[in-house]
Structure 1
């Protein structure tokens, strides 16, 4: 199941301690990998192409803990889901 939304805000801190806000573009569950994924985008519209950040997450985790995507196969699968959503006009 894919959920496309822009409601939840995430504040991420980089290695230098700088905080940036991101919005949830969409989230989905993968039966193949047995994991849930979330894709975040910067919370500012610069009018330019942006880099999105995919993460593994547990939708039932009250702390919204994000884990890095572990394999190239997972990145490829996430990219395929994102391309499908863009092509279908969902995001």
Structure 2
């Protein structure tokens, strides 16, 4: 479960222990082949130049509360990884 604050691009996610953690939105995109929206986040306050973990999620369009689903399909994960690599290459 998550909560999106669009003004600051900060979201809260709950870990396996049920504790809330804050993340910053790196970017989001839509893929026509899968007809899904995706979002990439990283721990709030982390320095991207320091090699932080970046987490991809599927934006659950069926839920009006802004929840995310994990990517479980290998081909879909590969497509999302390629999108992240393109984004990071363009950002350099």
Please give the TM-score of this superposition, normalised by the length of structure 1.
Answer: 0.79
Which protein has the bigger helix share?
2
Deviation string for 1:12-38 (max 9, x for gaps)?
Answer: 111112221001100000011111101
- Following TM superposition, the consecutive aligned residue runs of length 4 or more in structure 1 with deviations greater than 3 angstroms are 58-62
Gaps of 5+ in 2: 1-6
Give the paired residue count. 85
Q: Which runs of 5+ in 1 are unaligned?
A: 1-5
Q: Residue 3 of structure 2 corresponds to which residue in structure 1?
A: none
CA, structure 1 residues 56+45, in 2 after alignment: closer, same or farther (shift >3 Å)? same
TM-score when scaled to structure 2? 0.78
